[in-house]
Amino acid sequence: MLTIYVDRFRKNRLAVVGLTVIAILAAAALLAPWVRPWDPAAQDLLSRLQGPSAQHWLGTDDLGRDVFSRMLTGTRISLSVGFVAVGLSLAIGATLGLCAGFFGGWLDTLVMRSVDVMLSIPTLFLILAVLAFLGPNIYNVMAIIGLTSWPGLARLVRGECLSIREREYMQAARLAGLSTPRLLFVHLLPNVAAPILVSATLGVGGAILTESALSFLGLGVQPPTPSWGNILSIGRDYLHIAWWLSIFPTAAILVTVLAFNLLGEGLRDVLDPRA
């Protein structure tokens, strides 16, 4: 079975490209402290706003800091925010969706009405309001993105559970007297793992995009810690004389989000070809 999935995935060239890009980004994030040529926080006012050169591959910013080194460190920040936020969203959304779809009744009603309430609130405004109250830092950004992105996943998992719980093998498992935890985690969860994995992959790209937007607005990762969003925010003020401060972070965000989307679509084709 695994061989079949691997063969399907290898035939999807766009998904392979997405996975390759993500692997390169992950390696860059892990090795950033050792491969970056400059200290990302080191200032050199005599070298401020210099264009790309052999000394500074992606140029320098308004304080003379090396943009390439800051971009490498920003890769670690962006991927960390994406994976942690999606992990938190998965824990909440998958648990609530499983319980709502399996048990039904008043619990299903409560979870679905909570989902409806969350989906009716503009997410970006909610995030901005909470961060303005708690204060902007990387941990609050991870938490608030995770805590606001679970409703869609909960609805997806609940819909899958409603379909699967009525199938013959689930009925046979109930008649065999299996415990509720065994029904949930041995027979039900593995059969909804595919849409959960696809949703999580797509969610990482969305979380990175949200973090970049928050950092661009000054409510995300705070200087001097570099992130793609706050590098782009600096570039906004120098767009007419320092194009590299806007072009390179924008390209990094675009390529990363696109890679996760391509991988997610590829996994959807591989794990559920009927869809």
Report helix, strand or coil for 66.
Answer: strand
Q: Name the token pair of 217.
A: 């607005």
Kindly state the tokens that stand for 112.
Answer: 């679905």
Q: What is the residue-level pLDDT of the chain in tens, covering all 275 positions?
A: 567 767 777 888 888 899 999 999 999 989 988 888 888 888 888 888 888 888 888 888 888 899 999 999 989 988 999 999 999 999 999 889 888 888 888 888 999 998 988 888 888 888 888 888 888 888 888 888 998 888 989 998 888 888 887 777 777 877 777 777 787 777 788 888 888 888 889 899 999 999 898 888 888 888 888 889 888 888 888 888 888 888 999 999 999 999 999 998 888 887 765 55
Q: Which helix (H) or strand (E) holds 19?
A: helix 13-35
Cα separation, 22 vs 40, in Å, equals 22
The predicted pLDDT at position 273 comes to 57
C-alpha distances (whole Å) from 6 to each of 3, 68, 267 are 5, 35, 10
CA gap 97, 151 in Å, rounded? 9
Residue 145 to residue 124: CA distance in whole angstroms: 9
List the one residue out of 90, 73, 86, 91 whose CA is nearest residue 221: 73
Determine contact, residues 74/249, Cβ cutoff 8 Å.
yes
Asked if residue 224 has a cis previous peptide bond (ω within 30° of 0), the answer is yes
> Using the 8-state DSSP alphabet, how is residue 215 labeled?
H
Distance of CA 184 to the CA centre of its chain: 26
Cβ-Cβ contacts under 8 Å for 55 (sequence gap 6 or more): none
Report all structural domains of the chain as residue ranges with CATH numbers, in order of start. Answer: 2-271 (1.10.3720.10)
pLDDT on residue 1: 57
pTM more than 0.85:
yes
The pLDDT assigned to 41 comes to: 84
Classify the C-alpha dihedral 217-220-224-227 as positive or negative: negative
Nearest to 94 by CA among 199, 171, 167: 199
Best CA proximity match to 140, nearest among 96, 84, 209, 92: 84
Q: Rounded to whole angstroms, how far apart are CA atoms 275 and 265?
A: 11
